Chain A
């Protein structure tokens, strides 16, 4: 036991001792504690069996050591983050989490009056149990699903909740920032977005590390639950430092005629693996999934995306664009699943990769599983290097080589960038791309 304790009396790792100490530090109602205990047992069960090879065989987790990380008990006071978005627009509300603890929560008064909830999960889940409990880790992400889901369900620390009641629409975007500041700190934040029938909102979320060399761990979950005719635009920019491990289950559920527009930016992390599910549950539900990744050095970014068409007349459109350099690696495994009665489905998935070096590698594996007999489903994947002739052409017009490269990369990402409706996010993405290219 002494080995598990540091001199500060803080338990590291995720052993049973650490779990008990974690429960003790949290002072939560019994129903939450019970759910955590059940999840912890599931986590132990999952640890005993290997990860699903179909999902994990291309993801290098051999150098990952969970016992190097711990959940911090007390919030970290002062930490500044290079936020890409926070200071650049008017927001209807803002939430900031540092090392798993909420440090700031604001929400425009006029929306609070209409019953909108926006803030930290650990307090709101207790205060508004009747509203949130039926959804939390039940509808979109199942706590028992796999090792990382149950690990998250046992140790979730907080996260951003957005609840928009029936018919309310929030015109300005909301902002959520998740930060890691301490080496060895683990973030188990949970994003829970619930839009009741006819509601609409835009949530921009960003993850960030305070320093470039503090190794962190994120075992997260994102749940986006949309009622009938609800409209959600959700953006998550993963921008950890390149020492951070990022594992996440992210799932959206869309009811009849609902519209989910989901944009994922993968820029940081040492290794990121995201299991992303989109369920179209009601007739006419729509989802558009955009992904932009830029991997450099030895980064590994892995996406396991599934588009579930569970009802007729549903439409999904997934487009991922990957840029890779150095020895980076991107893995994308996509699947469109069409249920038997999901006739007139229109499903699309596409992954394009631009390889800027000879030593990077992309694995793109699209897939279809169709049980209905009257659908339109298409998929595709491309991978290629920068055409030297294009670079030569630009240089012949007087552009230096790096600027030519920049233009080509920007052009490659333009298609997905055009699909992002929020100007701020487009700008932010461009800026990060420049930074990654070393010219920003």
Chain B
């Protein structure tokens, strides 16, 4: 049985809405023009996924970093091993309907002309656009910008203790900004639960503050967009044996 859960205009692209389907708390996620609905409970710790970051068609649990495919519900990484239930989503006349997985919305009085089947994964991912929206440069320095190269070189001294690759080549550093003698860095970790997090942050701060013209460095950890192996340089991929 399909229930109307939202109108299309209620959920902006890359937005989400908490809904209740068949007495189960669920999350409706919109990626571009596609809608997905999953049970809003992490199969690992049994608590809500509601505010977890969404990227590459997957949602990440905000507590321990478990990742689930929004289309299939499949658990993509530890600590989760079990999938989360998904629901079929259909859009008709600007309204979003959700029903049991695999079900089809019976054709309505307006005939099937306006029925759009949407539960398909796409490759048009929001990751790039999010970065663009922030208006920042992705890790690698622009040629000829000496200051930035120096800052990046300083950060290259910080090594992820688990992977033994520096944080810049891993693609963990998102933005570096200078305001006089103060440096602002936005960076991420390979997973929100990364045990080496505090150590990496502290070392980054120290590495920058060691520079002559830097008085203070402020390191901000961001989890959105989440890190993926694609962010690594080829060199780093080689070192880790990823091709």
Contact surface of A with B, Cβ cutoff 8 Å: 57-58, 60, 62-63, 298, 329, 361, 363
Contact = CB atoms under 8 A, between A and B. Distances in A.
A298 B20 CA distance: 15
Contacts of B48: 62
A62 B24 CA distance: 9
B41 interface: yes
A305 to B, nearest CB: 19
Interface residues of B, number: 10
A70 B235 CA distance: 66
18 contacts: A57-B47, A58-B46, A58-B47, A60-B25, A60-B41, A62-B18, A62-B20, A62-B25, A62-B40, A62-B48, A63-B20, A63-B23, A63-B24, A63-B25, A298-B23, A329-B46, A361-B46, A363-B46
A371 B161 CA distance: 39
Interface string B58-72: 000000000000000
Interface of B: 18, 20, 23-25, 40-41, 46-48
Q: Which of A62, A329, A361 neighbours the largest number of chain B CB atoms within 10 Å of its CB? A: A62
Nearest to B43: A361
Contacts of B23: 63, 298
Nearest to A61: B25
B88 to A, nearest CB: 19
A44 B177 CA distance: 46
Given A58-B47, A62-B40, A361-B46, 15 more contacts: A57-B47, A58-B46, A60-B25, A60-B41, A62-B18, A62-B20, A62-B25, A62-B48, A63-B20, A63-B23, A63-B24, A63-B25, A298-B23, A329-B46, A363-B46
Contacts of A361: 46
Nearest to A358: B82
B82 to A, nearest CB: 9
Contacts of A298: 23
A57 B48 CA distance: 9
B28 to A, nearest CB: 14
Closest 10 CB pairs of A and B: A62-B25, A63-B20, A63-B23, A57-B47, A58-B46, A63-B25, A361-B46, A363-B46, A58-B47, A60-B25
Contacts of A63: 20, 23-25
Contacts of A363: 46
Contacts of A58: 46-47
Nearest to B24: A63
Contacts of B40: 62
Nearest to A363: B46
Nearest to A270: B23
B40 to A, nearest CB: 8
Contacts of B46: 58, 329, 361, 363
A411 B7 CA distance: 53
Nearest to B48: A62
Nearest to B23: A63
Contacts of B41: 60
A300 to B, nearest CB: 10
Nearest to B41: A60
Contacts of A329: 46
Contacts of B24: 63
Contacts of B25: 60, 62-63
A135 to B, nearest CB: 38
Contacts of B47: 57-58
Nearest to B25: A62
B25 to A, nearest CB: 4
Contacts of B18: 62
A332 to B, nearest CB: 13
A58 B44 CA distance: 12
A63 B47 CA distance: 14
A214 B48 CA distance: 28
A58 B20 CA distance: 18
A58 B46 CA distance: 7
Nearest to A62: B25
B37 to A, nearest CB: 15
A63 B18 CA distance: 11
A361 B41 CA distance: 13
Nearest to A300: B46
